[in-house]
Amino acid sequence: MSTTRQLLSTVLLIAVLVPGLALAADGLEFLAPEHFQVLLGQTRFEFEVTTSLDRIDVYAGGRMIGTAKPPHWELLADVPYEAVGQSIHAVGFFAEKPVARAELPTRKVRINQEVDVIRVQLYPVVKGSGGKYVSDLSKEDFEVRDDGVPVAIESFETRPKELNLAVLLDVSESMRDALLVLQGAATRFVDQLEPDDRVSVFAFNDTIEELLPLGGDREEAKEQIVELHAEGSTALYDSIIRIVESLRGVKGRKVALVFSDGRDLASISSAERVVRQARQSEVLLYTIGPAGQRAKPGRDTSADELRETLEFIANETGGEAFFIYSTNDLDRVFSEILLHLRAQYELVYIPKHGEPGYRKIEVRVKRPGLKAHARRSYYHGGRR
């Protein structure tokens, strides 16, 4: 940041903090998060704008943490620890001049207040020889370790309920020739869901569009899927974070299914941030991408990069990555994912107190020849 920009930021911060210098509050308002919440780390801000603005700069803990721009007026930004309990300030600009402001009061955390994970929910899948799903296990067949320490399984279910599924479909320019096949497979996938399953559907290129809110009318979603057209670039990471955010606070199993045929070309976020956000929101990510072939010297490596990224995102969050040679394979893969979801167990344990941070999870099956697949880590709130 240049000296001029730093000086401008300082002046603006004084303006929003000092009542006598306050800018007009009309025309700019925080829609999310709600007032008096504890904000820390990755946070999505949404604004209502009823005046002419070019951008909105957001401040926390005495510094600017990001900028929201039209048309969506949304921002994903990190709220630093030193800003916990302080108001978040937004400054709206038009023609490079600050013309509006808004304030978001947040909730303070007492020094001795415990912010802890009450319980950890896991949804492992177990396979035997030949990759066949095993569905006849009991609680006694499982062993769970939290950062290497064995923990007691508090509750156990062989058929978890409350599936909340967010589907993200790539409709970037590269999908033009294959879009018709994707549309057909996606609508048939929606038809295969159980009546009690709740599903949301999103389409993305360099922006993201919600076609169906969670639990909405599936017939309407299918109609909108059929009307999609391919254009634009690929903002894969930003779009995944958006659907993960849409599942935050939802109870029960939370799963995001992501299809993309190309590497990210337009995101602000990274694959590492996607994994971090999914861990914090306890969302399992299932990914589908092109199989391609391993690159040889001199060949384009973009397919390999995408494959590695999709495997990383899925494996680190407890989902699974699938790869296809043709979009004609999508029906088969969508059906395989449904089988995977219906083969899940539910294990719940209570973690021990400790310092904040990420903890490793190991789920093992005591029966010989069986292997469990589950998420590998979670965020432990610890004590403040």
pLDDT for position 346: 94
CA distance 260 to 235: 10
Q: How confident is the model at residue 109 (pLDDT cuts 50, 70, 90)?
A: low
Give the number of other Cβ atoms within 10 Å of residue 311's Cβ.
Answer: 16
Question: For domain 163-342, which architecture applies?
Answer: 3-Layer(aba) Sandwich (3.40)
Check if the beta carbon of residue 65 is closer than 8 Å to that of residue 58.
yes
Per DSSP (E only), the strands in 239-381 are 253-259, 284-290, 321-324, 346-349, 357-365, 371-373, 377-380
Q: Which residues pair with 98 in a beta bridge?
A: 93
Closest CA to 76 of 46, 36, 35, 37: 46
Check if the beta carbon of residue 79 is closer than 8 Å to that of residue 91.
no
Q: How distant, in Å, are the alpha carbons of 19, 173, 245, 311, 336 from that of 323?
A: 57, 20, 25, 10, 12
Return the domain boundaries, the chain. 3-104, 120-159+345-380, 163-342
Summarize the confidence of residues 346-363 as an average pLDDT. 88
pLDDT for position 142: 97
- Segment holding 280, helix H or strand E: helix 271-281
pLDDT for position 354: 79
Specify which of 14-18, 82-86, 306-310 reaches the highest per-range mean pLDDT. Answer: 306-310
Q: How confident is the model at residue 302 (pLDDT cuts 50, 70, 90)?
A: low
Q: How distant, in Å, are the alpha carbons of 21, 103, 245, 259 from that of 17?
A: 8, 9, 30, 45
pLDDT for position 64: 84
Decide if pLDDT at 314 tops 60.
yes
Share of the chain above pLDDT 90, in %: 52
Q: What angle do CA 102, 106, 110 make, to 5 degrees?
A: 155
- Segment holding 241, helix H or strand E: helix 236-246
**Per-residue pLDDT tens for 39-59?**
877 688 999 999 999 999 999
pLDDT for position 12: 46
Torsion of CA 114, 36, 120, 315, to 10 degrees: -120
CA distance 12 to 64: 10
Decide if pLDDT at 297 tops 70.
no
Comparing 344 with 62, the larger pLDDT belongs to 344
Check if the beta carbon of residue 11 is closer than 8 Å to that of residue 59.
no
For the entire predicted model, the pTM comes to 0.69
Q: How confident is the model at residue 174 (pLDDT cuts 50, 70, 90)?
A: confident
Residue at 200: amino acid letter: S
DSSP state of 232: S
Decide if pLDDT at 203 tops 90.
yes
Check if the beta carbon of residue 315 is closer than 8 Å to that of residue 279.
no
pLDDT for position 383: 52
pLDDT for position 299: 38
Q: How confident is the model at residue 382 (pLDDT cuts 50, 70, 90)?
A: low
Closest CA to 100 of 108, 110, 109, 90: 90
Min mean pLDDT across 42-51, 113-122, 185-194, 245-254 is at: 113-122
Closest CA to 258 of 167, 192, 375: 167
CA distance 47 to 158: 43
Decide if pLDDT at 5 tops 80.
no
Question: For domain 3-104, which architecture applies?
Answer: Sandwich (2.60)
Summarize the confidence of residues 21-33 as an average pLDDT. 73
Min mean pLDDT across 7-21, 111-125, 317-331 is at: 7-21
Comparing 302 with 219, the larger pLDDT belongs to 219
**Per-residue pLDDT tens for 230-286?**
999 999 999 999 999 899 888 889 999 999 987 788 888 889 989 988 988 889 999
Q: Are β-strands 253-259 and 163-170 bridged in parallel, bridged antiparallel, or unpaired? A: parallel
Summarize the confidence of residues 148-177 as an average pLDDT. 91
Share of the chain above pLDDT 70, in %: 87
CA distance 12 to 5: 10
**Per-residue pLDDT tens for 230-240?**
999 999 999 99
Average pLDDT score, the chain: 84
pLDDT for position 252: 86
Comparing 177 with 80, the larger pLDDT belongs to 177
Phi, psi of 168 (to 5 degrees): -120, 120
Torsion of CA 283, 288, 289, 291, to 10 degrees: 130
